[in-house]
Structure 1
């Protein structure tokens, strides 16, 4: 956004400076051209007057002397013709055969003076011809041709143009500097707002107040977003604290109830159902406490990738060995690429893999085959826990990580396993993705950051 704003400001400032500088450059050229033209037209008139008197007296000596002096002072040749077109005065080697001289002299002799000098630019030719008739239209007496040397005037124009263009470049740089400051002043609070809102949406945490800067409208927006973020943060904190407090408060009564139930006579009718429901309630409370702890970790800003590292193959092998005794007739297989090092803590990764294995063993069904694999991808490391069980319908995959969601299965569960796995992945800087296993089953894919070492 800042680059686009700077581009617009740069184009606008360039157009404005061009609109000011170009007329100024033209004005300098026109002024210097008019000054030179007036001076040389006056010189041309003087030579025409002298040539007219010389034609009447038949003596061109005075005109030759003046033409020679002009040649010495200004290095500008002079050519004068009489009524018959014969050259009577010539300096600087100029003749009627010189480029353009004959045509200009002929037009001037017909009372068609050539007095205009083209506007001087830095690239204009330094030599130009002007001519005036001698005598009167009723009694023409020849023509005067002056080869004007505009080199000095062009040098003046060039110097003026360099100064003006240098000033324009300096002004443009100053405007760009001011535009950069203005763009930063405007964009900086927008970037802070974006970072804060992204963090709020990612982790539900609002960690620091926004800096009040920029235009008044953005400052008011920042204050409003800050109030909104603090409100969302308080709401999330209250919700999680309520879950944690409720779970803790229920632990003691449940423990007491467990002791009382275990002390009852096993032969009491319906006792098995009570014990089953009590065990399920204990599992739900344990899951809620674990989920609350993980979400609190995310909110407190500890969801960034850890500086710890772990050998992925070793963690996977340890978890498989841990869960193998409870797998019954379910086959656990490890397909790990050696030497992969993830930028996560080994305990965190082990807990996450354990949750995924627990979910697979519960729902894959008897005789299922569970494969735990690891590989490297362009974006990091991939760890997959795949089973060939009944799986989850494709339309329900997006719901599977929500709290208390349970699929169409008869297996009892808390509905918190995949929710815990998803939040744990966020807490360690990873990402959990669920997909269907071909031809049937569920694949849980972990996208892990790879350690640079």
Structure 2
């Protein structure tokens, strides 16, 4: 729009300015011709020394046009003066001196709306070889300047109307080009934000943009189909594997007592593998469900929960596991903190972080659960003083099935589920170091209003 407007104004100025100057030059030339003729008449009468006729003509000219006339003879004496014009008037003496030397001063500067209304012109009296004086005329250019002003006003108003028309045409042209680009931008941003494509792009604009819109629409539908297939495959696979796992467990439980001796190492390993596989499938289902919520967008009216109550209950749930692992749990929270999140989501978030801290902090470690109000919402932290993680591994800890090379049992999906749950409620999960050592998981949540 800016480019089209600038180009339009430049073209309009290139047309209007010469027209304005041409109007001014025409008015100036017309005034100059008529006043030069009057000067010639006065000079002709003065050349015959008929000063009485010159005075009569000058007075009549004064009454008709309101212009003063001054006639000077060869000796430099004033012989005729009307309208108060004298040799001492500004510019008169120099102009009369030039005219008396046979250098007529008949040109009037081009009239502009701001020009002076009383220019001076002069012409010699006598022949070119024997100048006998000069005639000076104070031209009243007010009418001509007023005419120039009116013409300039009409032209400028017409130019302004043309500029508005050009701006309207430029806005229509810009909208014609930019509207499909804006639709493409919104569609691509939505695809990147929520990984969903549920809109059709309007075929408008230049042919190149129409082809681009069609290509983007095909790409979006392809990406959406791929995401749906992947998500469905994870959910279906998890559900389908649950049945054979349950069948295997039932068959094992139905074996003869001598074949399922609990003291048998093979039987114990088989039980552990089954439990581990069931945990992985359960976490995969949770992760698929949470990721579906993230991609489908946040609810228009999120739930609310009291942070202190949720953290207290969750801490009591995990206290037996912490005691068994030799970990001390601490709680510190501000009063009246209300999170814009569902209670089960906050429980799942805090539970996943406490489970991770208890597993990896080590024996005799301390895990602190704190909740405070931050400038941009609420902040819940789960900090431990265990060995922590190297800086280069912090971004990897929320990836699926990443365990950091430790031998502790786990599915490797806990922090991934926590991160996706935080995103699903409009929050964020970040990992950082605890000073002097350990790991701090921080949940940033919106505060209920």
TM range, normalised to the smaller chain? over 0.9
- In the aligned structure 2, how far is the partner of 1:213 from the partner of 1:310? 47
- In the aligned structure 1, how far is the partner of 2:423 from the partner of 2:211? 32
Task: Specify whether residues 7 and 296 from structure 1 end up closer, same or farther in structure 2 by C-alpha distance, changes over 3 A only.
Answer: same
Q: RMSD of the alignment, in Å?
A: 1.9
Task: Specify whether residues 18 and 193 from structure 1 end up closer, same or farther in structure 2 by C-alpha distance, changes over 3 A only.
Answer: same
Alignment map for 1:357-436 (pairs within 5 Å): 357-436=354-433
Displacement after TM superposition at 1:207 (Å): 2.7
Displacement after TM superposition at 1:154 (Å): 0.7
- In the aligned structure 2, how far is the partner of 1:314 from the partner of 1:292? 28
Deviations 1:42-62 (A, max 9, x none): 111111112223x1xxx3222
- In the aligned structure 2, how far is the partner of 1:440 from the partner of 1:193? 48
Q: Are 1:231 and 2:222 matched, yes or no?
A: yes
Displacement after TM superposition at 1:40 (Å): 0.8
Aligned pair partner of 1:246 in 231, 237, 241: 237
Task: Specify whether residues 445 and 180 from structure 1 end up closer, same or farther in structure 2 by C-alpha distance, changes over 3 A only.
Answer: farther
**Residue aligning to 2:112:** 121
- In the aligned structure 2, how far is the partner of 1:290 from the partner of 1:60? 118
Which ranges of structure 2 fall in alignment gaps of 5 or more residues?
255-259
**Residue aligning to 2:76:** 85
- In the aligned structure 2, how far is the partner of 1:71 from the partner of 1:423? 96
Aligned pair partner of 2:332 in 331, 335, 351: 335
**Residue aligning to 1:3:** none
Task: Specify whether residues 235 and 439 from structure 1 end up closer, same or farther in structure 2 by C-alpha distance, changes over 3 A only.
Answer: same
Displacement after TM superposition at 1:304 (Å): 5.2
Deviations 1:251-284 (A, max 9, x none): 1111111122234332445100110111000001
Return the TM-score normalized by structure 1.
Answer: 0.92
- In the aligned structure 2, how far is the partner of 1:98 from the partner of 1:297? 92
- In the aligned structure 2, how far is the partner of 1:308 from the partner of 1:209? 32
Q: Are 1:19 and 2:10 matched, yes or no?
A: no
- In the aligned structure 1, how far is the partner of 2:375 from the partner of 2:174? 36
Task: Specify whether residues 207 and 19 from structure 1 end up closer, same or farther in structure 2 by C-alpha distance, changes over 3 A only.
Answer: same
**Residue aligning to 2:33:** 38
Task: Specify whether residues 83 and 167 from structure 1 end up closer, same or farther in structure 2 by C-alpha distance, changes over 3 A only.
Answer: same
**Residue aligning to 2:268:** 272
Q: Are 1:106 and 2:93 matched, yes or no?
A: no
**Residue aligning to 2:257:** none
SS of corresponding position for 1:180: helix
- In the aligned structure 1, how far is the partner of 2:352 from the partner of 2:111? 86
SS of corresponding position for 1:98: coil
Displacement after TM superposition at 1:176 (Å): 2.8
- In the aligned structure 1, how far is the partner of 2:301 from the partner of 2:368? 27
SS of corresponding position for 1:145: strand
- In the aligned structure 2, how far is the partner of 1:411 from the partner of 1:174? 75
Contact preservation (8 Å) 1:196, 1:206: yes
Larger deviation: 144-153 or 43-52?
A: 43-52
**Residue aligning to 1:145:** 136
Displacement after TM superposition at 1:409 (Å): 1.5
Deviations 1:177-200 (A, max 9, x none): 333333333233323322322232
Contact preservation (8 Å) 1:205, 1:298: no
- In the aligned structure 2, how far is the partner of 1:68 from the partner of 1:89? 10
SS of corresponding position for 1:435: strand
Deviations 1:306-338 (A, max 9, x none): 432223223222222222232213222222222
Displacement after TM superposition at 1:221 (Å): 1.4
Alignment map for 1:66-81 (pairs within 5 Å): 66-81=57-72
Larger deviation: 402-411 or 312-321?
A: 312-321
SS of corresponding position for 1:389: coil
SS of corresponding position for 2:403: coil
**Residue aligning to 2:189:** 198
Task: Specify whether residues 335 and 16 from structure 1 end up closer, same or farther in structure 2 by C-alpha distance, changes over 3 A only.
Answer: farther
**Residue aligning to 1:281:** 277
Contact preservation (8 Å) 2:194, 2:297: no
SS of corresponding position for 1:127: coil
Could you list the structure 1 runs, at least 4 aligned residues long, displaced by more than 4 angstroms after superposition: none
SS of corresponding position for 1:149: coil
Displacement after TM superposition at 1:372 (Å): 1.6
Return the TM-score normalized by structure 2.
Answer: 0.93
Tell me how many residue pairs correspond in the alignment.
442
Contact preservation (8 Å) 1:189, 1:214: yes
Q: Are 1:345 and 2:342 matched, yes or no?
A: yes
Which ranges of structure 1 fall in alignment gaps of 5 or more residues?
1-5
Q: Are 1:302 and 2:293 matched, yes or no?
A: no
Contact preservation (8 Å) 2:361, 2:438: yes
Task: Specify whether residues 338 and 212 from structure 1 end up closer, same or farther in structure 2 by C-alpha distance, changes over 3 A only.
Answer: farther
- In the aligned structure 1, how far is the partner of 2:88 from the partner of 2:263? 139
- In the aligned structure 1, how far is the partner of 2:446 from the partner of 2:114? 63
SS of corresponding position for 1:131: strand
